[in-house]
Amino acid sequence: MRTMTWSALAAIGVLSCLSAPAHAQDRDEYRSRRTVPTSVAAELVDVYNAERTRRLRGPATVEEDEDIRGDVAVLDGTLTVRGLVRGRIVAINGNVRLARGARVEGDVLIGGGYLEGRSDGWVGGEVRTYADRVSYRRDGVMLIPEEGHDRDLAWWSDFKSRDGLRTSVNLGGASTYNRVEGLPINLGPQVRTDFNGGRFLLDAQAVFRTIQGWQWNAQTVGYKARSELRLGQRNGIAFGGRLFDIVDGVENWQMSDAEVGLGSFLFQRDFRDYYMRHGGQAYVRLYAGDGGELTFGYGQEQWKNPLLTSVFSLFKLDGGWRPLPTMDEADMHLLTARWQFDTRNDLDDPTNGWWIQADYERGQGKIRRIGSVVPAQQAAVPFTDVAYARGFLDFRRYTRVGPDAQLNFRVVGGGMLPNSDPLPMQRKLSVSGPGSLAGFAFRQESPTLVNISECTVTQLPGTPANCDRMLLAQLEFKGSLDFNLFNDIFDRSDAGGPFGYQPRPKKASRLRSGHWVIFTDAGRGWLVSPSALPGLSVSGKIPDLNTFRTDAGVGFDFGAVGLYYAKAMSDQDRPGVFFLRLHSRF
């Protein structure tokens, strides 16, 4: 047997850490989020507990001659619908099957199961499915939802005491491969205790970076620790704190860690800039059962540039790695606020719901090294005091416009707020590449054109993001890819067939394997301060829409992976771009 090389072992290990696990469903177009949202679990239980709901224990059937004037709830089994339900149907840890001719006038909501026979029956309301099971306990005939538990590290053990307290201890895991750390290995315990009305969480992990083998120094070893006390179940408040010495990315909103890691490991492509963060933060978070969270934080951090490294990649490009841009090095005091609102039915592949995130950051401190100055002039630049304010908004809506179609849109904007000092390099913005304007290659701008994607006015290494503000809009339409593989000739609607086939429900003869996608994007960045290049500086307003860059494209989204083609429309001399995404575009 041929001996497996170290590079092959590394490839297997890295690829196993690049993508999140998928929940396969071969009978429905939905994929599950990691846990059923607290608000959805409460909605399921509320319908089940309602006085007028018909409660069933699966397997159960609504017969063809039945006309139910109200809601129906099934628990722990499959509900087959052949007749008419004039209200809602909810399934808790069970499936719903629509027979031919079945009619449901209300919504269908499923937690811990799937919907079968979508094309055979008719649903007048909204359909939402979640594959992960719903945790609940009984109080007489009523159900009470319990919070689920995420376990996202590699090894864990679980202990439960007699009084109901639960403690999980996680011993290790891995982060995503990147061009600065290689494959970071996390090692340390996580202790979680659930009690009546709350939860306490404590975890501490050492971070071992594999860029220099297993050497022990400030560049190869970091840490992250967190403690949080949460009071309340559906609604409540949490108090927490964090300590960290980590490598973080700039503009993490554009692409996922897995996609950036895959590009780095396979093709020597990096779609992100990096800097080192050392410090701590205390925070208070308010949360509500409808998917809303409001977090306030205060922290002190030290920012540094990582060492220049050349990590392993499977295929090496002729030009090698893009130069790693130089970030600001600074000591900062940060005051932050974040509001999140999430009603999506799936974190990775949503088909309906809202996702909104608004961030505010107020930073004050001293910049010891300015990254926007060319290296030859660094020694001549004195320390600079800075007090900046930055806002950021990511607004998304996912809408099903038919049984097999959906329309999604996204608006992203942010940057320097009024009466603010110039932003540090870590907080600058850009719009180019697969995560924003796919028709414009990431950080590969022609020096002869006005660069409104990165707003770079000097030839800085790596063409870093340099826009004070930016605005991006994305719109896409999705339709299902259905393949008629065969007709089930053995399913007959009559008992008098030539071979005496007995009547039975017709099986689905279609395989849903993904979506086709049509999309368009428009966006640009700009500077607030005066610039030597015309068209880059816009003070106090949004630039004219005719100055925005636009693209359009088509693609195929198969859930875990998508293949797309985008063409710049505002600059049609640019060649089209093929690109790969490990998740939906947004």
Domain boundaries, the chain: 38-145
Question: How are beta strands 510-526 and 469-484 bridged, if at all?
Answer: antiparallel
The helix or strand, by DSSP H or E, that contains position 108, with its residue range, turns out to be strand 108-111
Do the Cβ atoms of 323 and 309 come closer than 8 Å? no
Do the Cβ atoms of 384 and 372 come closer than 8 Å? no
pLDDT at 238: 93
pLDDT at 383: 64
Do the Cβ atoms of 551 and 569 come closer than 8 Å? yes
Segment 98-149, tens digit of pLDDT:
998 899 988 899 998 888 887 788 888 788 888 778 888 887 778 888 754 3
Predicted TM-score (pTM) of the model is 0.72
Do the Cβ atoms of 285 and 237 come closer than 8 Å? yes
pLDDT at 489: 39
pLDDT at 302: 97
pLDDT at 25: 32
pLDDT at 449: 62
Mean pLDDT in residue range 219-242 = 89
The pLDDT-based confidence of 343 (bands split at 50, 70, 90) is confident
pLDDT at 105: 86
Do the Cβ atoms of 192 and 228 come closer than 8 Å? no
Task: With H, G, I as helix, E, B as strand and everything else as coil, classify residue 383.
Answer: coil
What does the buried/exposed string (b/e) look like for 237-266 if buried means 16 or more CB atoms within 10 Å of the residue's CB? ebebebebbbbebbbebbbbbbbbbbbbbb
- Partnered with residue 416 across adjacent β-strands are 390
Cα–Cα distance for residue pair 439/192, rounded to 1 Å: 45
Cα–Cα distance for residue pair 519/534, rounded to 1 Å: 30
- Partnered with residue 341 across adjacent β-strands are 292, 356
* CB atoms inside a 10 Å sphere around CB 228: 17
Cα–Cα distance for residue pair 130/140, rounded to 1 Å: 26
pLDDT at 301: 97
Read out DSSP for 38-71?
Answer: HHHHHHHHHHHHSTT-EEEESSEEE-TT-EE-S-
pLDDT at 23: 34
Cα–Cα distance for residue pair 477/554, rounded to 1 Å: 10
The pLDDT-based confidence of 507 (bands split at 50, 70, 90) is very low
Measuring CA to CA, which residue among 342, 474, 341, 479 is closest to residue 408? 474
Q: Give the amino acid at 509.
A: S
Instruction: Choose between 55 and 541: higher pLDDT.
Output: 55
Q: What is the DSSP letter of 252?
A: T
Share of the chain above pLDDT 90, in %: 40
Q: Classify the phi-psi angles of 513: left when phi > 0, otherwise alpha if psi is within -120 to 50, otherwise beta.
A: alpha
**Token representation of residue 107:** 């919504």
pLDDT at 237: 93
Mean pLDDT in residue range 254-258 = 91
Mean pLDDT in residue range 499-511 = 38
The helix or strand, by DSSP H or E, that contains position 267, with its residue range, turns out to be helix 257-267
Sequence-ordered list of residues with C-beta below 8 angstroms from that of 188, at least 6 positions apart, any chain = 170, 171, 172, 203, 204, 205, 206
The pLDDT-based confidence of 448 (bands split at 50, 70, 90) is low
**Token representation of residue 314:** 């499977």
Predicted confidence (pLDDT) at residue 356 exceeds the cutoff of 90: yes
